[in-house]
Each structure stands twice: as C-alpha cells, then as structure tokens.
Amino acid sequence: MRKLPFRSPIVHSHHLTPYLFLFPALVILTLTVFLPALQAFSLSFARYEYDLTQMPQWIGVENFRRLAGDRVFWKTLGNTLLYLLGAVPVLAIAPLGLAILVNQKLKGMHWFRMSFYTPVVISMVVAGIAWNALYASNGVFNQLLKTIGFESGIPWLTSPNYALWSVMLVTIWKGLGYYMVIYLAGLQGIPAELYEAAAIDGSEGWRKHWDITIPLMRPYLVLVTVISSISATKIFEEVYIMTRGGPQDSSKTVVYYIYEQAFNNLEISYACTMGLVLFLIIFSLSLLNLYLSKGKESYGNIRF
C-alpha cells in the first residue's frame, strides 16, 4: 500500500497564519462596511423613518419612482457632475506640473514642497472658515478687486452663479498638494538613463517631459483621475461649512442632499436610495476611467 506523504501540523499552521492576521480587520470591515452596505441596499426598497419601534415596510421601487421625479435631486446631480467636470481636470493635470517643478534639484526646493502640501494637512473646517472670510463682501478678494476698479466686488458665496465655483476652488486648493505627492513618487521612480538617452536624441527642456515623463506617468494619471473623480462626486464638507447648499440649491451636491434627507428629514430609506444611485455612478465612472486609460506599450511594470 502506498503511503500518503506526511504533512507536519506546523505547515498547516503557517498556511493559516495570514488569515489569522486578517481576521480582526475582516471582522471590523464586515461590521462597519459590508453589513451596513447590505442594509442600506435593502432599505432602498422599503419605507423606513428613524423610528426604532417600527420595522421597514417593503414598497418595491417606489423610492426610485420618487427619485425620478425629484427636481432637487436632479439639480444636485447636475451640480455634482459640474463639480466633477470642473475640478477633476485641474486636479489631474496641475499637480503633475507642480511635481515636475518641485522635483528639480535646486537649493531650498523642499520649502516649496512643504508650502504646496500644507493645505492638505489643514482641517477642512479651518479651511472653510478661512475661505469664508476671504470670500466675504469686505474680504481680501473683494478688496483686491476694488483696487483694480470693481467697486461692487463679487458675491462669491451669495450668488447662484458663483457659489459652486467658489466652493470648487477650495477643493482644488486643498487637493493640489496631495496629488502632487503621488506624482512626485512616480517621477522619482523614472530612471535617469531615459532622460540621458532622450537628450542624446535631441529631446531637452520641456520636450523630454512630453516624450518621457508623461507616457511613463500614465498609471499615476489614471490613479489620480479615479481618486479625484470619486472625491468630487462625494463632496460634502466644503458645501456644509461654506454654503449649506445655497443659494437656491446652486451649490447643493448629491451627498449633501442625502445628508439632508437622512438627518434633517429622517427619511432614511429615501437617502439610501440616493446613496445606491450615487454608488452606481461612482462605480461606472471608475470603470470608464480605467477602460479609457488602458495602455498599449510597457516599460518594466509601467504601461504607456
């Protein structure tokens, strides 16, 4: 009779060790992410207000029908898409230029890096209050405009024409340094030999960045585009602190509207329905970004 190979219990324990380390994190994720997500999905098809003494009532797709006819929701969805189109291109391109600038080996360049990254570590509450002061009718911005001839100034946060763009500027200001660091990590991983070879072929100055840097930074461009797109569609803090969605819902985003329905109006199931729609939008945008950014060539592990 053929003997089966002997396997020590120690080998089996080594196979289980990674799962033992993952188990606490999986438990926390299950309790705080997966189960609430499943519950929110189920509540999208029910009627439920914040009352612990009552059970949710199954109503099918009634919440989705209500959502289709909700004028405010479509207004906030339009604001969110406008936020996406306005902020993401700037946050995807401008930080790359900053990263190329601060990657130069010049004296005192670390101070420039620190100055560009400082807004990232500032609390959004503090930043919002500070920018509210700058946007005030007698704030710094309007005072500067008055010195060049604009006596009335600009109603930055009190006009439907300017409110959303004013909030968007704060998002861009805080995000530039964060995405700059991501690009900077990618730039420092590009071999210097590539630039030397490009210089021999006559590619110098900014031309070398067009020929070498941008193609090799494509994975980082995809990463920044996806992250900034998700962040733009989930914008909340800036709106809450600076405008509360006004004036006339001009700066109200989908996430802020979800907050209003869930915590002000206590319509939990309707808020879950909007959250589900927002999740599908974010998921679709992420897939679209990844599909459009597929590369055809590669250098090492980097496709370009």
CB neighbours (10 Å) of residue 128? Answer: 21
SS3 1: coil
Better-predicted residue by pLDDT, 34 or 51: 34
Q: Average pLDDT in the 109-123 region?
A: 86
pLDDT by residue (tens digit) across 163-204? 999 999 999 999 999 999 999 988 888 887 877 777 777 767
Better-predicted residue by pLDDT, 283 or 49: 283
Residue type, 260: E
- Residue whose pair of structure tokens reads 């592990």 in the numeric block: 301
- pLDDT range class, residue 296, cuts 50, 70, 90: very low
Whether residue 301 is predicted with pLDDT greater than 60 in this model: the reply is no
**Rounded distance between C-alpha atoms, residue 260 and residue 243, angstroms:** 14
Q: Given CA atoms 237, 242, 244, 246 in this order, what sign does their dihedral have? A: negative
pLDDT reported for residue 72: 94
Distances in whole angstroms, Cα of residue 227 to Cα of each of 42, 71, 88, 220, 224: 27, 29, 9, 10, 5
Q: Average pLDDT in the 227-252 region?
A: 92
Whether residue 60 is predicted with pLDDT greater than 90 in this model: the reply is no
**Rounded distance between C-alpha atoms, residue 29 and residue 35, angstroms:** 9
Whether residue 7 is predicted with pLDDT greater than 70 in this model: the reply is no
pLDDT reported for residue 172: 95
pLDDT reported for residue 31: 92
- pLDDT range class, residue 302, cuts 50, 70, 90: very low
**Rounded distance between C-alpha atoms, residue 47 and residue 270, angstroms:** 8
- pLDDT range class, residue 214, cuts 50, 70, 90: confident
pLDDT reported for residue 258: 94
Average pLDDT, the chain: 85
Domain 85-303 indexed as CATH 1.10.3720.10: yes
Q: Average pLDDT in the 205-214 region?
A: 76
pLDDT by residue (tens digit) across 274-283? 999 999 988 8
Q: Average pLDDT in the 27-41 region?
A: 90
What secondary structure letter does DSSP report for 46?
A: E
pLDDT reported for residue 206: 72
pLDDT reported for residue 105: 78
pLDDT reported for residue 50: 64
Q: Average pLDDT in the 247-264 region?
A: 93
Spatial contact of 81 and 284, defined as CB atoms under 8 Å apart: no
Whether residue 4 is predicted with pLDDT greater than 90 in this model: the reply is no
pLDDT > 90 in the chain, percent: 45
Write phi, then psi, for 137 (nearest 5 degrees). -60, -30
Whether residue 290 is predicted with pLDDT greater than 60 in this model: the reply is yes
**Rounded distance between C-alpha atoms, residue 156 and residue 246, angstroms:** 12
Q: Average pLDDT in the 7-28 region?
A: 76
pTM above 0.85, yes or no: no
pLDDT by residue (tens digit) across 69-115? 999 999 999 999 999 999 999 999 999 999 988 888 777 777 888 88
